[in-house]
């Protein structure tokens, strides 16, 4: 296959999304060697090339059709789309699949000493941020005006050094804000990683590679969120046991050799299986309760 017919995917070269993205590719069966310094890494067992770049370059590469697909945080994606719209550049893309990693929120945070009295108390203030477009959109939607100073890193130190009144930055655990004496006052955008696709239709060859890859990606996502549950249950308690199982799957009931009073119950749970549920099952007389991760799923 020529370069023109190999599917090209952009991923973050190094940073918070790169390990999860590499892991996703691996679990989808892509044999990718990214240990070298090359910009373009070839997948050995499928006609796919992976372009390893900065996260902030990914939306533009996909919107301009340089890459067919990209894996990027919704925060970067939305900020780039707004910026490009403003500059009259191409900003269209297709969100092909939401991914279940890279979760965070973009929030406004103020020094602990600030007397926060609702969104209006932020009117006319100055914020350090990497996301001026998202901040501006939120401010406008809430009827306030804000100023910003653009920082690409160490945003959280800006109020302390007198650069800004507050910040607008990504938060996941909140530890960075706390360490810098800042308090989250407004969540303005929720983000996760997404698989995005160029809005230009793909050629037949590339579309067929994507048609193979996409169910695998979705299978990996589904498997990550699901658990396989196995247990032994008293035969006369099957209805109560089934009612306690998380998710909508019907359990498989199997006989147990030499036991007329017990059956084996197997189910794929697509929702969280809590310790409390295990304790309730135990109280019903169930034993050998196993909760196991699922490697792959299809159909």
Closest residue by Cα to residue 210 from 28, 72, 20? 28
User: Is residue 15 a contact residue for ligand PRT (CB under 6 A)?
Assistant: yes
Within 13 Å, how many C-alpha atoms sit on residue 64's CB side?
11
Instruction: Return d(Cα 169, Cα 107) in angstroms, integer.
Output: 6
**Least CB distance from residue 215 to ligand PRT, whole Å?**
25
User: Is residue 164 a contact residue for ligand PRT (CB under 6 A)?
Assistant: no
Direct distance between the N- and C-terminal alpha carbons of the chain, in angstroms, rounded to an integer:
29
User: Is residue 173 a contact residue for ligand PRT (CB under 6 A)?
Assistant: yes
User: Is residue 174 a contact residue for ligand PRT (CB under 6 A)?
Assistant: yes
As to burial, measured by CB atoms within 10 angstroms (0-12 exposed, 13-18 middle, 19+ buried), residue 80 is buried
Which value, in Å, is the radius of gyration of the alpha carbons in the chain?
Answer: 24
Residues 6+ apart with CB under 8 A from 232: 256, 262, 263, 264, 265, 286, 287, 288
Neighbour tally for 230: CB within 10 Å: 15
Instruction: Return d(Cα 117, Cα 96) in angstroms, integer.
Output: 40
User: Is residue 181 a contact residue for ligand PRT (CB under 6 A)?
Assistant: no
Instruction: Return d(Cα 65, Cα 81) in angstroms, integer.
Output: 14
Strand partners, 212: none
Range in contact with ligand PRT (rule: CB under 6 A) among 12-20, 63-71, 223-231, 285-293: 12-20
User: Is residue 47 a contact residue for ligand PRT (CB under 6 A)?
Assistant: no
Residue from 59, 60, 70, 73 touching ligand PRT (CB under 6 A): that is 73
User: Is residue 23 a contact residue for ligand PRT (CB under 6 A)?
Assistant: no
User: Is residue 142 a contact residue for ligand PRT (CB under 6 A)?
Assistant: no
**Least CB distance from residue 155 to ligand PRT, whole Å?**
7
Footprint (CB under 6 A) of ligand PRT, residues 205-244? none
**Least CB distance from residue 134 to ligand PRT, whole Å?**
12
Place of tokens 């099952």: 281
Nearest residue to ligand PRT, scored by beta-carbon proximity: 73
Closer of 161 and 283 to ligand PRT (Cβ)? 161
By rule CB under 6 A, what count of residues binds ligand PRT? Answer: 21
- Please give the residue ranges that form the binding site for ligand PRT (CB under 6 A): 12, 15-17, 54-56, 73, 75-76, 102, 104, 169-176, 191
């Amino acid at each position: 296959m020529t370069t023109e017919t190999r599917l090209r995917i952009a991923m973050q070269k190094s940073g918070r999304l790169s390990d999860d993205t590499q892991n996703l590719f691996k679990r989808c069966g892509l044999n990718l060697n990214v240990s070298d310094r090359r910009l373009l890494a070839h997948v050995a067992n499928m006609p796919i090339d992976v372009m390893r770049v900065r996260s902030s370059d990914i939306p533009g590469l996909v919107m301009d059709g340089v890459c067919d697909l990209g894996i990027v945080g919704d925060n970067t994606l939305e900020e780039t789309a707004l910026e490009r719209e403003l500059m009259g550049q191409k900003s269209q893309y297709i969100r092909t699949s939401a991914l279940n990693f890279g979760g965070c929120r973009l929030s406004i945070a103020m020094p602990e000493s600030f007397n926060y009295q609702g969104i209006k108390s932020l009117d006319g203030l100055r914020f350090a941020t990497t996301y001026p477009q998202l901040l501006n959109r939120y401010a406008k939607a809430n009827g306030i005006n804000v100023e910003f100073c653009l920082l690409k890193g160490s945003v959280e130190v800006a109020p302390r050094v007198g650069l800004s009144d507050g910040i607008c930055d990504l938060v996941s655990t909140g530890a960075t804000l706390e360490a810098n004496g800042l308090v989250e006052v407004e969540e303005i955008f929720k983000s996760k990683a997404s698989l995005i696709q160029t809005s230009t239709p793909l050629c037949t060859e590339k579309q067929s590679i994507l048609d193979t890859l996409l169910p695998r990606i979705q299978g990996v996502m589904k498997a990550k969120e699901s658990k396989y549950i196995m247990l032994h249950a008293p035969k006369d308690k099957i209805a109560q046991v089934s009612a306690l199982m998380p998710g909508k799957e019907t359990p498989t009931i199997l006989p147990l050799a030499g036991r007329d009073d017990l059956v084996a119950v197997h189910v794929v749970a697509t929702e969280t299986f809590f310790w409390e549920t295990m304790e309730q099952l135990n109280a019903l007389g169930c034993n050998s309760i196993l909760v196991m991760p699922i490697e792959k799923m299809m159909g």
